[in-house]
Amino acid sequence: MAEEHCIVMENISKSYAGVEALDNVGIDILKGEVHCLIGENGSGKSTLIKIIAGVITPSRGACITIHGKNYSKLTPVDSMRQGIQIIYQDLSLFPNMTVAENIAINQLLESGKQTISKRLIHEIASNALKTICIDLKLETLVGDLPIAKQQIVAISRAVACGESLIIMDEPTSSLGKKDIDCLFRIIRTLKSNGISILFVGHKLNEIFEIADRVTVLKDGKSLGTHDIHELTYQKVIELMTGKALAISNYERDYPSAEPLLEVRNLSKRFQFKDINFTLYPGEIIGVTGLVGSGRTEMVSSLFGLNPADSGKILVNGKLTPIRSVRDALRAGICYVPEDRLSQGLFMNHSIKNNIIITIFHDLLNRLGLLESGKVKQTSSLWVKDLAIRTPSIELPVKQLSGGNQQRVVIAKWLARNPRILILDGPTIGVDVGAKEEIHKTIRALAGNGLGIIFVSDEAFEVVQHSHRIIIMKEGQVVEIVDSKDVLETDLLEKID
């Protein structure tokens, strides 16, 4: 017996100013399956889901079949009437309304009822939450909920409308491990109820955990749909980037070096306690743990953003109190924050200005003015060394891709010639190809003798790109392991 399709899309094309965003793409989603849509930034994922939503009209020749009904294009009304709901990253909730009101609002608007009782609102919301086996307080304002629970509200709203296809756009981008596990339980519940899920993501460990089938887009073209059991990490990366990726653990090669950084009993009340580790020149130490484990609080204390209450920090064997960012910079410590958009970059300023901001005092002439020649030479050098893809150093950094933005942040700190570089989530929000390039950059920096502390919540990433791994839980180091002695699955068990 043939499997029932929820939606079939064929010959889907869309161009902008002569550039093909989608070129004859096809995708079919089965009833009650979790179908992952993956591809690098610019591959066409967003364009495709907006065509499904009816927000964008495809070029002529498109054929879209939903529950046996054919369309050449969809309108938002068509999409909604056919039971399609998209949950974007911003969730599109009303923060000043209650959980119950947010869940029930779409169904009530569609019903056209003139009068609505509170009892009916609560009944709709309660039934939707029961469907996904979740309990939330219905009278809580959505704006008071953490992002993970807001996402549950958005999913419940889709369920309340009786949707047959729910599209989730990067749903785990702001979630910790426990919240991701909860989301995946909900997705499996939806699947068991016959609801189809189109999961748009880029974290390969999540895709292999949740997907039934995977469709890969590259440069606006479909590279086919594959059963998840037919794929490996290497195969997916090869499809997305167009090149094979040699995956191997990072070998340790510094047996006789003296410690570059020593952290002894570092503590801060309610954040982290008794942190002890040593960092050597040329070493990459991965730091991982669930959200709330204290990992970011700990590393930011090493940069003076969050000074510790007690404990000692030694740099090159010398006691080095770090009470401020200035203290950290004097010690040769630099820090790339997790949120590059609000903490790492001046988005409206040029690449050039972002790179030289940490060293502009060194580029002043006798009159206290920036020497334009030195500024151009310095910024151009770092653009070249870190392979930042841009037509001009004058381009505003907001116009760069996520991977190139991250390299600008790294460049501005490398310009200070640090001895220790802290990277907090350096590959968050970048695609697989950009991740690979950032990993190569990190390895190259370590090869030049830098000591690197690399924070990540992706087990696969820290295992493959660190010498040793610090595992944190509830503000404490529970174990330090050598990457060659641990598998990704082992690390995930230790983190939980």
Please compute the mean of the pLDDT values over residues 394-422 and round it to a whole number: 86
The answer to whether residue 249 sits within a structural domain is no
On the question of pLDDT at 252 being above 60, the answer is no
Buried b (16+ CB within 10 A) or exposed e, 108-144: eeeeeeeeeeeebbbebbbebbebbebebebeeebee
* Predicted pLDDT at 1: 43
> Where among 241, 270, 303 does a domain terminate?
241
Please state the φ and ψ torsions of residue 141, each to the nearest 5 degrees.
-70, 135
Contact 491, 462 (CB under 8 A): yes
Are 11 and 106 in the same domain? Answer: yes
Are 233 and 267 in the same domain? Answer: no
Are 32 and 166 in the same domain? Answer: yes
Please compute the mean of the pLDDT values over residues 123-136 and round it to a whole number: 91
Q: Is 32 left (phi over 0), alpha (psi -120 to 50) or beta?
A: left
Are 109 and 40 in the same domain? Answer: yes
Which residues have a Cβ under 8 Å from the Cβ of 422 and sit 6 or more positions away?
299, 302, 303, 333, 334, 335, 336, 452, 453, 455
The answer to whether residue 473 sits within a structural domain is yes
pLDDT in tens, 70-87: 999 999 989 988 999 999
Q: Which long-range contacts (CB under 8 A, 24 or more apart) does 173-177 make?
A: 173/89, 173/428, 173/429, 174/89, 174/147, 175/147, 175/148, 175/151, 175/291, 176/148, 176/290, 176/291, 176/292, 176/457, 177/290, 177/291, 177/457, 177/492, 177/495, 177/496
Are 388 and 426 in the same domain? Answer: yes
> Where among 241, 273, 293 does a domain terminate?
241
- Position 333: which residue type? I
Most confident of 114-128, 146-160, 310-324, 423-437: 310-324
Q: Is 10 exposed, middle or buried (0-12, 13-18, 19+ CB in 10 A)?
A: middle
Please compute the mean of the pLDDT values over residues 472-496 and round it to a whole number: 84
Are 295 and 419 in the same domain? Answer: yes
Q: Which candidate, 467, 459, 461, places its Cα nearest to that of 483?
A: 467
**Count of domains for the chain:** 2
Contact 100, 138 (CB under 8 A): yes
* Predicted pLDDT at 70: 93
Domain that holds residue 206: 5-241
Residue 342 has which token pair? Answer: 């609000």
Are 335 and 370 in the same domain? Answer: yes
CATH of the domain at 410: 3.40.50.300
On the question of pLDDT at 310 being above 60, the answer is yes
The answer to whether residue 316 sits within a structural domain is yes
On the question of pLDDT at 13 being above 50, the answer is yes
On the question of pLDDT at 410 being above 90, the answer is no
On the question of pLDDT at 293 being above 60, the answer is yes
Residue 90 has which token pair? Answer: 């911003």
Are 234 and 267 in the same domain? Answer: no
Are 43 and 175 in the same domain? Answer: yes
Query: CA torsion sign, 37 to 39 to 41 to 46?
Result: negative
3-state class (DSSP) for residue 185 = helix
Are 196 and 268 in the same domain? Answer: no
Are 230 and 267 in the same domain? Answer: no
* Predicted pLDDT at 341: 65
pLDDT in tens, 222-247: 999 999 999 887 788 788 877 665 55
Are 146 and 272 in the same domain? Answer: no
3-state class (DSSP) for residue 265 = strand
3-state class (DSSP) for residue 1 = coil
Please compute the mean of the pLDDT values over residues 133-147 and round it to a whole number: 91
The answer to whether residue 252 sits within a structural domain is no
The answer to whether residue 39 sits within a structural domain is yes
Interatomic CA distance for residues 307 and 309, integer angstroms: 7
Band (9; pLDDT cuts 50, 70, 90)? very high
DSSP state of 364: B
